[in-house]
Amino acid sequence: MSLIRRLAATVSLLDGVWGIAVGVLWVHLFGAPPWQTSQVSGGVDFAIVALGAILVLDSALCFWGISSAYYVSALLSVVMLVFVPGGIQLGDLFLTSVAAAAITVVLDALAARSREYIPEKDHPMNLPVFG
């Protein structure tokens, strides 16, 4: 696995953990998000926690080297921003979420497009010729 793929998978994992933390802490710090009309959730924003958990699972697929998992990770990072309220007030949690999502999207795009090539001289089918 190349360095960029390993780095992208690690950042996706951290972004997923960040999403879970924001989902758990948001209601305790700032009250219910605008789309929750009641406190039935027990103090947890399940939308962000669920997306964060899916992102953590997807980062495991990224560590296995599945190229399409990087695209899914980038998409989940962007979708998770939709559920983080507070974009108008630009609070620290929102700005950190935007930065984490932007870094995740960029690294996942680079990792999905990167390929691991074996140089021709090191290729196993390149046998020495004895003459």
Residue boundaries of the structural domains of the chain: 3-117
Among 24, 21, 16, 17, CA closest to 79: 16
Under 8 Å between Cβ of 19 and 49: yes
pTM here is 0.74
Which pairs with CB-CB distance under 8 Å and at least 24 residues apart come from 108-111? 108/8, 108/12, 108/62, 108/70, 108/71, 108/73, 108/74, 108/77, 109/70, 109/74, 110/4, 110/8, 111/2, 111/4, 111/5, 111/7, 111/8, 111/9, 111/62, 111/70
- Check if CATH label 1.20.1270 holds for domain 3-117: yes
Residues in the chain, overall count: 131
In this predicted structure, which of 12-16, 36-40, 46-50, 56-60 has the lowest mean pLDDT? 36-40
Q: Residue 40 has what pLDDT?
A: 47
Helix H segments across the chain? Answer: 3-30, 46-64, 67-83, 92-113
Q: Is residue 67's pLDDT more than 90? A: no
Q: Is residue 92's pLDDT more than 80? A: no
Residue 81 three-state SS: helix
- How far, in Å, CA of 131 to CA of 122, rounded? 20
